[in-house]
Structure 1
Amino acid sequence: MFHNLWLKIKGVLIKMGLINAVQNVLSTSDLIIDSNFYSKISEWQNIYAGEDDIKSWQDVTGKIHRRKRMSLKMAKVISKKMSTLVFNEKARILISEKGDAENDDNIDKSQANQFVKGVLEDNYFYHNFGTRLEYMFSGGGLAIRTYVKDGKVKIRFATADSFLPISQDENGVSECAIISKFAKSGKYYTLVELHTEDDSNYLVQNRLFESDNNSDELGTEIPLTTIYGDSLKEISKYPKSSYSRPTFVYLKPNLANNFDPSSPLGISIYANAVDTLDELDQAYDMLMQELVMGRRRIVAPDWMMIRNTDPRTGKKKAYVDFEEEVYQSYYSDISSPNAPQKPEDVTLGLRTQEITQTINTLLDYLCGQTGFSVGSFTYTAAQGVETATGVISRNSDTYQSKRDHETIIEDGLKKMIISILELGKAAGIYQGSTDVDISINFDDSIAQDRTENAKYFQLMNGNAPLMPQKEAIKRANDLTDSEAEDWYSQIKEENSQGDMADILDDNKDGDQDETPTMGN
């Protein structure tokens, strides 16, 4: 227990020491955040990682017992759930140059959209970003860094504990340092990527430090070529005449930072539910121990469990099979008048129902503290933690939280796309305009039951159709306008015999006994 606790504290001290060392060595302006805040970030990350918590106790003989406490790992569950609700691979990003016709087919084929689409696919963005959002919700922030390498625009990410804000403006963090620490060949290295700006340029400076141990010291500065060869420049300049913003973006959950209101950094989605998460793990551990302690037990005095000596082996043989683990013996004097006369079943009754009810009550508390609707998570003995599959209405807490987080994430993605276009333009790998309109569809279908919503709004509309047929075809099958037009024409041709109203009208004038037939 104390060993694990020391490792956690040591990790926080190393991180805080590195922060102070970066500030001193690089002679930067004061960080606009208290370095102690990173102890909170480390705490949230440890909870997300589900690091083992060791329980210990001392018995009457003085012996110390230790075991790992069981955990539901709900920090992981809620971070994953919210990241999936906000962004998934069905999300769609469209970029159109100013003046383009408002037509999805034209937009999809535009030079700007094709370039960004290629960059996102080359970086496996739709897959990677969903995972990184999970880290954002757990740690409280995520940095996106764009750069050019080998003639391509690259995207990489940094978690909240590696991001140090230096200054901010009305658009958020404008200058920062990003720390990357790694080990190689028995040495420890720290790469510091410093993003600053002057009157004319956005600057990215890289400095590499080497140390013999994993301490809170940066160590000795060494040339970048030691590790990176010629692939990483010591300093890069991005003229403000060609770039409208820095080449990094910082995202955070749309939650007020009640731990440090002046900080530009965000907080974990469960930052204010740490106590509830601990109570949940205690209840779950109690439930698991209940199954162990509820195992059937039969006790009997030792003299009652031994038969006569086996004449073939010369050994005494027990009445029961101790491999079954249900029998336990104890010493008893058979000559005593109070000696027991038969084995006794001492199996304890299970309290699983009461403990499970407690877990579900705590899950409801957790939902309220993390922006989910009450009942979003339930626990059953058969399935463990289950996520609600019911309809998430537009006025539910879950839906509102999802939309709140999307507001900040959408703004961050738009900034990232502008950086991609400006980097491509400056590198000569993109020839189009950087003055574009950006549309991001987060795909609400994963959070809402479209059938139920359609029934509701159709009822409000007097059961009349809610959208043109061609639009329904386009949305249902994720088609462009021209593809939807083709599908609509084919469907209309296949049903050229007419609809039910036409058939009934024709039947009035014809043979009343003839059965009308529908088209294919």
Structure 2
Amino acid sequence: MQYENIQKAMGVDIAISKKMSTAIYQWGKMYTNEAPWVKGDIKSLGIPASICTEMARLVTMESKIVISGSARADMIAQYMEPFLCNLSRYVEYACSTGGISFKPYMDGKGIAVDVTKAGYFYPVSFDSAENITGVIFPEFKRVGKKLFTRLEYQQFVDENYRIINKAFVSRQAQVKNDNVINLGQEISLEEIPEWENIEPYVEFRNADRTLFSYFKIPVANNIDPESPLGVSIYARAADQIRDADEQYGAALWEYRSKETAIQATSEFFKHDRQGNAIMPKGKERQYVDMGNNVTDTDGKPFFNVYSPEIRDESFFNGYNKIIQKVEFNSGLAYGTLSDPQVVDKTAEEIKMSKQRSYSTVKAIQNKLGDALRVLVNAIDAWITIENLAPPGNVNLAMSWDDSLVTDKKAEREQDLQDLAAGIMQAYEYRMKWYGEDEKTAREKVATPAEVIEE
């Protein structure tokens, strides 16, 4: 990815090394089934996308995110609703390239959230805790052969917050999904109707937060250890993913190359007027005309059934072993992508495998929770800046499902046994399994006489 034009236009250095930008580019290509090794007989199995989809499902399934406390909190919840409806998709994108940014902005009707994947926004500076404090967000608009680009630079330094907007037009319209080639000539924001109300420069004093949030996948960066940016969830499994694609391609070639065929001299076939052998309709690939006057070792007209043994079992056993390595290096439990019927593991090893997956999911959930808090705070700040609502308490409560390592059915059966034995009280059971508070649970299990006495 070429950053030189953006750096020159905004007068800042982009804090992404060449090694890191190349890795982000490759992870993105793998996610979209366009890895460099996918060509010819080697097809993509879509493993990177499957890993991200499954991880996002585990992270967000049955998650509950509630914003409450005041009319101001209700407004934030309303603005966040469309965003939260697509949370699983955003987590999947973050898993693919290592991170994603959430930037609230005024859209004329209220506050919306702009979501930008890694590789499509440009970090400029970080603080000591590796939080992004300066970043450039590009926006593109095509009109005929012209390409209009808006660069928005946000910087948070020493309680001062600056937002700088610049617009450019290129008559070559050279832009790709992952590569800005030519910004062109700088123009006024007012020349584009959608940008005419955007201020070129805004500064806020006494700032205590950024107006954007960065969700980072919590995997140690072994691509560029000096970079604070996150890495793809499958960064350490890239070589094994390539091996899996190649192994699967080899297995398919095994099937194609050893298809059953009938090899016979021309005497066994009917012929058209031109003397060409006529093959059974729909089975042309199954028959091979060996030519005229071809005989076997006994001098008889040649006739042979070609049906060699297919080594599919060994091919797919090898493939499954590779997929298990992909699972291990991506933080997934064995059997998530591989064939669970051939997971030759002890009960303790399976438990450790699930625990590894659980640890990965919990780490991502914690980082996601941090990113959501920063996002809610940023929306809260915009409400204050635009004077949209009076001050009020804003409480963010998040809960995540833990069924990955907990057998809910077995746990409930055990609680029922404890209830029957008097170890657990009925109201405690209702509080745990029906989500009731203590007062409601006690009222539900109270006898009529107890209610009258109260």
Q: Give TM class, smaller chain.
A: 0.7 to 0.9
Aligned partners of 1:350, 1:233: CA distance in 2, in Å?
66
* CA contact 1:197–1:203 (8 Å) conserved in 2: yes
Deviations along 1:170-197, one digit per CA (max 9) or x if unpaired, are 3411111123345432222332110113
Shift, 1:317, TM fit:
9.1
What SS does structure 2 have at the residue aligned with 1:440?
strand
Query: Which piece of structure 1 moves more, 40-49 or 111-120?
Result: 111-120
Instruction: Please point out which of 39, 42, 47 is paired with 1:74.
Output: 47
Shift, 1:271, TM fit:
1.0
Aligned partners of 1:420, 1:163: CA distance in 2, in Å?
20
Aligned partners of 2:204, 2:274: CA distance in 1, in Å?
93
Instruction: Please point out which of 422, 432, 438 is paired with 2:396.
Output: 438
Aligned partners of 2:278, 2:14: CA distance in 1, in Å?
75
Asked if residue 369 in structure 1 is aligned to residue 352 in structure 2, the reply is: no
Deviations along 1:318-375, one digit per CA (max 9) or x if unpaired, are 6862531311112243589865534211123222222221121111101110111223
Instruction: Please point out which of 164, 182, 204 is paired with 1:217.
Output: 182
Shift, 1:446, TM fit:
6.2
Q: Structure 1 340/229 Cα, relative in aligned 2: closer, same or farther at 3 Å?
A: same
What SS does structure 2 have at the residue aligned with 1:267?
coil
Asked if residue 193 in structure 1 is aligned to residue 140 in structure 2, the reply is: no
* CA contact 1:253–1:269 (8 Å) conserved in 2: yes
What SS does structure 1 have at the residue aligned with 2:236?
helix
One-letter amino acid of the counterpart of residue 239, structure 1: F
- 1:24 aligns to what? 8
Equivalent runs, 1:106-255 vs 2, <5 Å: 110-121=70-81, 124-171=82-129, 172-181=131-140, 183-197=142-156, 199=158, 201-211=160-170, 212-214=172-174, 216-230=181-195, 232-235=197-200, 237=202, 239-241=204-206, 243-255=207-219
Q: Structure 1 406/320 Cα, relative in aligned 2: closer, same or farther at 3 Å?
A: closer
Q: Structure 1 419/78 Cα, relative in aligned 2: closer, same or farther at 3 Å?
A: same
- 1:50 aligns to what? 33
Equivalent runs, 1:77-476 vs 2, <5 Å: 77-88=50-61, 90-95=62-67, 97=69, 110-121=70-81, 124-171=82-129, 172-181=131-140, 183-197=142-156, 199=158, 201-211=160-170, 212-214=172-174, 216-230=181-195, 232-235=197-200, 237=202, 239-241=204-206, 243-306=207-270, 321-325=280-284, 326-333=286-293, 339-379=299-339, 396-433=355-392, 436-445=394-403, 448-454=406-412, 464-465=423-424, 468-472=428-432, 474-475=434-435
Shift, 1:46, TM fit:
0.3
What SS does structure 2 have at the residue aligned with 1:162?
coil
Shift, 1:290, TM fit:
2.9
Deviations along 1:185-236, one digit per CA (max 9) or x if unpaired, are 2222332110113555312222222221416222111222333445651335
Percent identity between matched residues is: 20
* CA contact 2:152–2:163 (8 Å) conserved in 1: yes
Q: Based on CA coordinates, which of the two structures has the bigger radius of gyration?
A: 1
Aligned partners of 1:431, 1:234: CA distance in 2, in Å?
25
Shift, 1:133, TM fit:
1.3
Aligned partners of 2:423, 2:140: CA distance in 1, in Å?
61
One-letter amino acid of the counterpart of residue 287, structure 1: A
One-letter amino acid of the counterpart of residue 368, structure 1: F
Q: CA RMSD in A?
A: 3.5
What SS does structure 2 have at the residue aligned with 1:262?
coil
Q: Which runs of 5+ in 1 are unaligned?
A: 1-14, 57-66, 98-109, 382-390, 499-520
Q: Structure 1 226/343 Cα, relative in aligned 2: closer, same or farther at 3 Å?
A: farther
Deviations along 1:372-395, one digit per CA (max 9) or x if unpaired, are 1223222499xxxxxxxxx98896
Q: Structure 1 401/457 Cα, relative in aligned 2: closer, same or farther at 3 Å?
A: farther
One-letter amino acid of the counterpart of residue 227, structure 2: S
* CA contact 2:30–2:48 (8 Å) conserved in 1: yes
Aligned partners of 2:363, 2:66: CA distance in 1, in Å?
21
Shift, 1:142, TM fit:
0.4
One-letter amino acid of the counterpart of residue 183, structure 2: L
* CA contact 2:153–2:163 (8 Å) conserved in 1: yes
Asked if residue 39 in structure 1 is aligned to residue 22 in structure 2, the reply is: yes
Aligned partners of 2:226, 2:417: CA distance in 1, in Å?
48
What SS does structure 2 have at the residue aligned with 1:430?
coil
One-letter amino acid of the counterpart of residue 227, structure 1: I
Provide the TM-score with structure 2 as the length reference. 0.83
What SS does structure 2 have at the residue aligned with 1:378?
coil
- 2:178 aligns to what? none
Tell me which of the two structures has the higher relative contact order, counting C-alpha pairs closer than 8 angstroms and 6 or more residues apart.
2
Shift, 1:40, TM fit:
1.1
One-letter amino acid of the counterpart of residue 252, structure 2: M
Deviations along 1:129-188, one digit per CA (max 9) or x if unpaired, are 211211111111101101223251111111110222211113411111123345432222
Shift, 1:400, TM fit:
0.6
Alignment length (residue pairs): 432
What SS does structure 2 have at the residue aligned with 1:191?
strand
Aligned partners of 1:450, 1:238: CA distance in 2, in Å?
52
* CA contact 2:189–2:200 (8 Å) conserved in 1: no
Provide the TM-score with structure 1 as the length reference. 0.74
Q: Structure 1 463/303 Cα, relative in aligned 2: closer, same or farther at 3 Å?
A: farther
Q: Which runs of 5+ in 2 are unaligned?
A: 176-180, 342-349
Shift, 1:458, TM fit:
8.2
Q: Structure 1 333/453 Cα, relative in aligned 2: closer, same or farther at 3 Å?
A: same
Aligned partners of 2:371, 2:390: CA distance in 1, in Å?
24
Q: Structure 1 463/492 Cα, relative in aligned 2: closer, same or farther at 3 Å?
A: closer
Q: Structure 1 53/292 Cα, relative in aligned 2: closer, same or farther at 3 Å?
A: farther
One-letter amino acid of the counterpart of residue 255, structure 2: L
Q: Structure 1 25/236 Cα, relative in aligned 2: closer, same or farther at 3 Å?
A: closer
Q: Structure 1 194/169 Cα, relative in aligned 2: closer, same or farther at 3 Å?
A: same
* CA contact 2:160–2:203 (8 Å) conserved in 1: yes
Q: Structure 1 253/197 Cα, relative in aligned 2: closer, same or farther at 3 Å?
A: closer
